[in-house]
Amino acid sequence: MSAPPPADRGESGRAVTVEIGANEAEKSRNRATGAGAIDDPYPRYDELRETGPVHEGAIAAAFGLPGGAVIGWADRRIFSCYDWDTVDTVLSDPETFSSRWYQPTLEPTVGVSLLQLDGDAHRRHRELAQPALLRGQVERWRERWIEPTANRILEDCVATGGRVDLYSKLCAHLPVHTIASSFGIAAADVPHFHELAIRAVGGVMTNPLDAFQASQEIAVYLRRVVAERRIEPQDDLISILCAAEMRDPDGGRHVLEADEILAFARVMLPAGAGTTYRGLGCMLLGLLQTGQLDRLRRERWRLEEAIEEALRWEQPLTSLGRIATRDTELGGVAIPEGSVVYACLAAANHDPARWSDPHRFDITRERRVHASFGLGPHFCIGAHLARLEMRTVMNTLLDRFPKLQLDPDAPAPWITGLLFRMPTAVPVVLES
């Protein structure tokens, strides 16, 4: 079953849901996030935005899908915002819109983490690992982990005939190998660890018990790594965290306990693996389907622009949730204290008040700040790493396969999903 290419999007949804996933567990997770049911949400976002930037109700409900009420907040009123200004306001004002929205869903599986914290508590947790994830620091990951992994995967693809789905073979594996290696996970354990990470976070909505069990298995493994690094530190993030000291509210400091390290790791691992591979897959499909890969070959200097445009055009995660800490007003709508507020990143990134012809993928577009990594104090701590992975993969493909093209004999792929945006596949012929 095919869909219109990205340059000429069709209807905002499908009459019949298409099953997306390699197995029943993956299909179930994808169904819960709109994959296969909603292909092009942007016309609906436009309709909503034109009648006001903020609407009562969950984003999923605006598309006729179940979902929106989250464990722990099921009795709360829900509001969703769909333009740049209101999304920016929500994400940039943690005193009014709190990240503790994550608490009831993530704390049972990952513990207390920086995702659910605000203010000084958030700053104290974030400053532990942020120095290791700055742009200058992650650049060394390219030679150590990213390039070798990309080349090894591509060698395997060439050896099996050169016709390959880059989304499942390359995009889905490279980021998890990178982030897992940085946490000291043995290469042989990465595939199993990847599945555990997906179950621990993705299963919160579909199978909470399985999510908890997967999270416990991750904890057992990482506790062993933490114990080993305390005795014999290495050049990885676990060693950095083992040596780090947390700044306490009273001004004192303490060495991180194992549970504090585990909470950070169990958030970073699935986040670092999941969002990058979807974003990279969407970028590759967009470049190939619109013919802009040829232009990027000729004008390699546009690669940074192409990455930012791809992230704006199809962001891997389309919304973030917050809790209103007081009565307030947003986009002319009264928001009662305790309400759930969803900031729709995807709609903000396609706001015509900020971008001309926003639904068009154009690597020559003038760069402006987008919302794909969030905004405000919770801006994604791994943004530099995600960009580095995308840049490295694109350079590797352009260097090795100057004739890279979509496989004309494969079923036509498309981009789908509501909460997460992802390609169904990126089938290519690897020609050097």
pLDDT of amino acid 68: 62
Q: Are 135 and 384 in contact (CB under 8 A)?
A: yes
Q: What is the mean pLDDT of each run of 10 residues along the chain (432 residues)?
A: 38 49 60 75 97 95 79 86 98 96 77 83 81 78 89 92 93 87 84 77 67 83 90 87 83 82 76 81 97 96 97 95 97 96 98 97 95 94 91 96 95 93 94 78
Q: How many whole angstroms separate alpha carbon 135 and alpha carbon 420? A: 26
Q: Are 96 and 327 in contact (CB under 8 A)?
A: no
Q: Which of 308, 309, 313, 306 is nearest to 383 (CA)?
A: 308
Q: Are 349 and 372 in contact (CB under 8 A)?
A: yes
Residue type, 193: F
CA distances from 389 to 68, 92, 133, 295, 404 (A): 32, 27, 13, 21, 19
At what angle are helices 190-202 and 24-32 packed, to 10 degrees?
A: 40
Indicate which CATH number applies to the domain containing 226.
1.10.630.10
Q: How many whole angstroms separate alpha carbon 282 and alpha carbon 267? A: 23
Report if residue 383 sits inside a domain.
yes
pLDDT of amino acid 255: 82
Q: How many whole angstroms separate alpha carbon 146 and alpha carbon 177? A: 8
Q: How many whole angstroms separate alpha carbon 409 and alpha carbon 165? A: 12
- The SS3 of residue 246 is strand
pLDDT of amino acid 340: 95
pLDDT of amino acid 3: 39
Report if residue 412 sits inside a domain.
yes
Token duo for residue 342: 């969803």
For 311, residues 6+ apart whose C-beta sits below 8 A from its C-beta are 279, 283, 370, 372, 373
Radius of gyration in angstroms for the set of CA atoms belonging to the chain, rounded to a whole number: 21
Alpha helices in 93-244 (DSSP H): 103-110, 119-129, 135-141, 147-159, 166, 174-182, 190-202, 208-231, 237-243
Token duo for residue 70: 């989250």
Report if residue 1 sits inside a domain.
no
pLDDT of amino acid 117: 85
Q: Are 195 and 202 in contact (CB under 8 A)?
A: no
Compute the Cα dihedral for 217, 196, 126, 100 and give only its sign: negative
Report if residue 401 sits inside a domain.
yes
Report if residue 38 sits inside a domain.
yes
Q: Residue 317 carries which DSSP code? A: B
The half-sphere exposure of 23 on its side-chain side, counting CA atoms within 13 A, is: 3
Report if residue 335 sits inside a domain.
yes
Q: Are 42 and 9 in contact (CB under 8 A)?
A: yes
Residue type, 247: R
Specify the number of domains making up the chain. Answer: 1
pLDDT of amino acid 23: 62
Segments of 325-385 assigned E as strands: 328-330, 333-335, 340-344
Q: Which domain holds residue 174?
A: 6-429
Indicate the Cα dihedral angle 272, 273, 276, 277, nearest 10°: 180
Token duo for residue 227: 């114990």
Report if residue 410 sits inside a domain.
yes
Report if residue 107 sits inside a domain.
yes
pLDDT of amino acid 188: 86
Residue linked to tokens 């994604």:
380
